[in-house]
Structure 1
Amino acid sequence: MSGPGDADEPGSPRANTRRDAVEDPIHAADEGRLRGASPATVRGALADGDPLPGTAGFAGAVDGRVVRDALGRQPVFTEADDPETWSFDPAALSDPDPVPAGHARDSDGDERVWSLPDPDPATDERAAVRAVREGVRGAVDDTATGGLAVAFSGGVDSAALAARLDAPLYVAGFPDSHDVEAARSGAAKLDRELRVVELTHGDIERAVPEVAAATGRTDAMDVSIALPLYLVAERAAADGYDRLAVGQGADELFGGYAKVARAPEDERVAADTVRGARREVVETLPDQLQRDVLALRGAGVEPVAPLLDDRVVAAALDLPGDLLVTDRGERKWALRLAVREWVPDPVAFREKKAVQYGSLVSRELDRLARRAGFKRRMDDHLGRYVDSLC
């Protein structure tokens, strides 16, 4: 099994070999050229335009085209001036150009082949919550636990995984952080052992250039989001685990953002309904997932995201607005109702901060920047500090 830093030739069998086995069997001639689905599944999805053909995301080459699923759950890249030269690892290419989500790329250019469905909202709310429950439970229970650890921050997203997976739980954060406190409390309620990665300023200074190199990004927000993921994955990898289950996608799919809850008053979204605002943030997932997947692979693990399984995505897209955000402003309502069957209520209904804030990485990155002379009055002081470390 090749590691995330291996510099194989682009498009070579070893460069394009998946780190773990796909669920569907792959014909020997196609082995290593697709991640996340068999050629037959991808060909079927191309033939009928099905954006959710029963996978957790896929990408790679099939029949002379490089494809990426509708949500961009598996990043894939080609040379900017040579679409036939491709890799899952942008570092293997001289000028990597990501294939857009839902597209197929060949020498003639990009073609959109899949678009996410935009169904009318479900009218039977009990059935809608039941569909979410069945989708999440099925996706989590189908997750193989060999070599698996769970990134656990104590909120409903990661608890939905942790409560059903026989795998060790990890959290990263500064000692007084909300995430560490919430993870300890949540693990106790789940009667599970928790491994805490207590962060230091030295960890941040060391990891910033590593995260930037893995993701190809130096934007301060991107780096601060990826840092805690990278550091918890790095520890899990050091402990011998090569796969990390994460709760990615839940905030976008189930209405977890304040700007979605406040639509249409929040100027950060253009939509005039909660469902419309949810759609806007779902469309940001491909870019976010590219960052997160590359950061986790850079740390030595393969990400596993059950909440981005097609079954969960389909159930989430059906939800009416008041099952995303209640009239009391409670977010991710359907997800909380769905998983309370196996997640204790104090965890299922806990509000949690975004990872960069809950771990205190964003605060401490700012503190380090100011100590290094990059004052807040300076334009993009955090970005300049990140650049200085890289």
Structure 2
Amino acid sequence: MQGADRAVVRAALDADDPLPGTVGFAGALDDGRLVRDVLGRYPIFSEPGDPAAHSPDPTDLSEPTPVPAGHLRDEDGDTRAWTLPDPEPYAESGRAVEAVRAAITDAVDGVDGAPAVAFSGGVDSSVLAARTDGPLFVGGFEDSHDVEAARSAAAALDREVRVVEFTHADIERAVPEIVAATGRSNPMDVGIALPLYLVGERAAAAGYDRLAVGQGADELLGGYAKVANPAEDDRLEADTVRGATREVVGSLPAQLERDVLALRAAGVEPVAPLLDDRVVAAALRLPAELLVDGDERKVALRRAADFLPAEIRRRDKKAVQYGSLVARELDRLARQAGFKRRMDDHVGRYIDSLVE
């Protein structure tokens, strides 16, 4: 069982408790059934109709089929074990912010040892950097937003940051490895996985077998611009801020599967304290105005992280594939290889050519 003891998982099943105080789990129970936590923070796969043939690594199986988040799997198929809670929001903003502060500090301070930290200079990774002792790593192409932001944030925190400067050769080498590890070759997934993979590789080469990441904060705490005006955004079905936030939380299992598999292929195990059950429970109770307020996103997190310098708490963050310039350089390489923008899915075709 990954992430938690079987006894804890069994108790969570008996109590119908989707958030039993873990950072996620997946694996086999004593009776042979497979289980995956409600947010899918760990992946587990099996052969179709044969849960006895299972692995956290899909490359071990001939036809890997993921167990859905919050489900049990046996010979008869998948059954839902838990549903994500939908509690009433906090009535008082001060109480809500204090709950988020207590949750994130307890979760981050409870991380064992000193893992390396994937550090982009935004509020999420700065929470990790400020409260852990492992080295900070940022990855990106020269002059990328993430490298510049990480350097300035590290200086504000009186920390040093190690820069992993990407090259075109890194992309050409890493893309087939990421596709093999994750089973995904679309440009969005590859563009997101590439910076994680290359930073993870460098951390592993420096002797670290774990990498702390800020995954989950954007989904849980209102980090996406689209949740601010969901009724006007055709990417969402929800028409309220809280409903839209819950909708994007539903995307976590697929995202986390990709990220975990990519980082493990790079040689490190991800540590994601902002996905701790305590953080999840506090985030689910946030009122709309503490998720987004005008142009400000992750409002409760910024107020709760009062141990950070104000300049960091105010910062916005680019998506990793853009902040690192990986998306731009993938496009450049595709065009240099003859896959022009006028072609349908030109970057995807370029990725396929690297894999072939």
Which whole-Å CA distance do the structure 2 matches of 1:387 and 1:260 have between them? Answer: 33
| SS of residue in 2 equivalent to 1:137 | helix
Indicate the residue corresponding to 2:128 in structure 1: 161
Q: Does 1:138 align with 2:106?
A: yes
- Once the two structures are superposed, residues 227-282 of structure 1 have per-residue CA deviations (whole angstroms, 9 ceiling, x without a partner) of 00000000000000000000000000011111112211111111111111101100
1:85-136 per-residue CA deviation (whole Å, 9 max, x = no partner) reads: 1111111111100000000000111010011101111111100110000000
1:318 to 273, 280, 285: 285
Residue identity matched to 1:197: V
Which residue number corresponds to residue 264 of structure 1?
231
**What letter corresponds to residue 91 of structure 2 in structure 1?**
T
Residue of structure 1 aligned with 2:35, choices 54, 67, 85: 67
Percent identity reads: 70
Q: Where does the alignment leave 5 or more consecutive residues of structure 1 unmatched?
A: 1-33
Q: Letter of the aligned partner of 2:62 in structure 1?
A: S
Task: Map 1:11-30 to 2 at 5 A.
Answer: none
Write the mapping of 1:222-237 to structure 2, written as runs, cut at 5 A.
222-237=189-204
Instruction: State whether structure 2 residue 344 is matched by structure 1 residue 379.
Output: yes
Which residue number in structure 2 is paired with residue 339 of structure 1? 305
Question: 2:3 & 2:70 partners in 1: Cα distance?
Answer: 14
Deviation at 1:81, TM superposition (A): 3.6
Provide the residue aligned with 1:38 in structure 2. Answer: 5
User: In the alignment, is residue 356 of structure 1 matched against residue 321 of structure 2?
Assistant: yes
For residues 13-32 of structure 1, the C-alpha deviation after alignment (integer angstroms, 9 at most, x for no partner) is xxxxxxxxxxxxxxxxxxxx
Distance 1:240 1:234 in 2: 10
Task: Give the counterpart letter for 2:259 in structure 1.
Answer: D
Matches for 1:266-345 after TM superposition, within 5 Å: 266-326=233-293, 328-340=294-306, 342-345=307-310
Match of 1:111 among 76, 79, 104: 79
What SS does the corresponding residue of 1:64 show, helix, strand or coil? coil
**Length-normalised TM-score, structure 1:** 0.90
- Alignment match, 1:3: none
1:100 to 51, 68, 86: 68
Letter paired with 1:77: F
- Over the residues paired in the alignment, what is the CA RMSD in angstroms? 0.7
Question: Given residue 356 of structure 1, which amino acid in structure 2 is its aligned partner?
Answer: Q
Larger helix fraction of residues: 2
**What amino acid sits opposite 1:185 in the alignment?**
S
CA contact (8 A) 2:49 2:75 kept: no
Aligned counterpart, 1:194: 161
Distance 1:317 1:376 in 2: 41
Match of 2:23 in 1: 56
Following superposition, the deviation at residue 389 of structure 1 comes to 0.3
Q: Say whether residues 1:181 and 2:158 are aligned partners.
A: no
Q: Distance in 1 between matches of 2:316 and 2:48?
A: 42
In structure 2, how many angstroms separate the alpha carbons of the residues matched to 1:247 and 1:343? Answer: 15
- TM-score after normalising by structure 2: 0.98
Deviation of residue 171 (structure 1)?
0.3
Q: Which stretch has the larger CA shift, 243-252 or 113-122? A: 113-122
User: 2:229 and 2:324 mapped to 1: Cα distance?
Assistant: 25
Query: Given the alignment, which residue of 78, 82, 90 partners 2:46?
Result: 78
Aligned equivalent of 1:242: 209
Instruction: Could you tell me which runs of 5 or more consecutive residues in structure 2 were left unpaired when the two chains were aligned.
Output: none
Moved over 2 A (4+): none
Question: How far has the Cα of 1:64 moved from its partner?
Answer: 1.8
